[in-house]
Structure 1
Amino acid sequence: MQLDKIDFQILQLLTENSRIQWKDLGAQIHMTGQAVGNRIKKLEESGVIKAYSLIIDEMQLGLPYTAFVIVYMKTANHDSFIRFINDRNEVVEAHRISGEGCYHLKIKVKSQEQLNLFLNKLLEHGNYSVNLSIQKIKQHNPLTATLQ
């Protein structure tokens, strides 16, 4: 699907508030709510919009620790490791990487004890290095780079 300037405006406004009414969104970009709704449906059907989500205050949920873990695998068979990370709620992102290490994980935990328990289980699959986040500086909006 070829996106035009209006599609990008709609996507930008939806990333700021995905619950915005179509008529209110349309008023901001000088379109009718029905026209906006039709464009949103096309964006959904084409797979540009995959889902709508919430941004949750993790501190309010008691998840004050964010850790970034680089995993160095012991074996070339990664299937059991992939199953392990898919089964762990602490793992919020996992990337296979090039360069130093094999995988980069983003972990959210309630305590250092919970992090230590996770890391002990991780040793069954490989070695690791850990970096703790001490302050979130920026949260990426994927449209920002696209719109520039």
Structure 2
Amino acid sequence: MEIDDLDRKILSLLIEDSRLSYREIAKKLNVAVGTIYNRIKKLEDMGVIQGFTVKLNYEKLGYELTAIIGIKAQGKKIREIERIIARDKHVTCVYDVTGEYDIIVIAKFRSREDMNRFVKSVLSVDGVEKTNTHVALEIVKEDFRLEP
């Protein structure tokens, strides 16, 4: 199944406000409520929509530190290391990358002590050779919502 212009318009509205009802979306797009229901169901079945969530301000929740951590790992253990790290409650993103490091992790912490414990726990994972941690001084933009 292909994604058409109506699907993209629905996605754009949901990206802005995932609380919109089918009725509100239908009214904004001038189509039947049943059409909206069917389209959203199709997008979920296709895996395009993976869930509905809220956008949080993590600093206001006490997460003062955002760290970008490069991890050098033994090649055959990279996938397992990524799975282990991805389970940690501080981790928001895990990327398998090219370049000097094999894995890039984005994580949020309430304190330097939390970050220190996390980095040391990563270093203790079998196959991790080294880490390089950068702390964000200011978050200029942090928004993973792209136009569909």
Q: TM-score range by the shorter chain?
A: 0.7 to 0.9
Q: Who is 1:55 aligned against?
A: 55
Identity of aligned residues (%): 25
In angstroms, what is the RMSD of aligned CA positions? 1.8
Q: Is the Cα–Cα contact under 8 Å of residues 74 and 127 in structure 1 kept in the other structure?
A: no
TM superposition shift of 1:98: 0.8
Q: Who is 1:135 aligned against?
A: 138
Q: Which amino acid aligns with 2:78?
A: H
Structure 1 outlier segments of 4+, above 3 Å:
none
1:126 aligns with 2:106: no
TM-score (norm 2): 0.86
Q: Which runs of 5+ in 1 are unaligned?
A: none
TM superposition shift of 1:107: 0.9
Q: Which runs of 5+ in 2 are unaligned?
A: none
Q: How does 1:20-99 map to 2 (within 5 A)?
A: 20-74=20-74, 76-78=76-78, 81-99=81-99
Matched residues, number = 144
Distance in 2 between the 1:78 and 1:4 partners?
Answer: 37
Q: Kindly tell me: are residues 26 and 118 of structure 1, through their superposed partners in 2, closer, same or farther at Cα, counting changes over 3 Å?
A: same
Q: Which amino acid aligns with 2:102?
A: C
Q: Kindly tell me: are residues 116 and 6 of structure 1, through their superposed partners in 2, closer, same or farther at Cα, counting changes over 3 Å?
A: same
Q: Kindly tell me: are residues 20 and 83 of structure 1, through their superposed partners in 2, closer, same or farther at Cα, counting changes over 3 Å?
A: closer
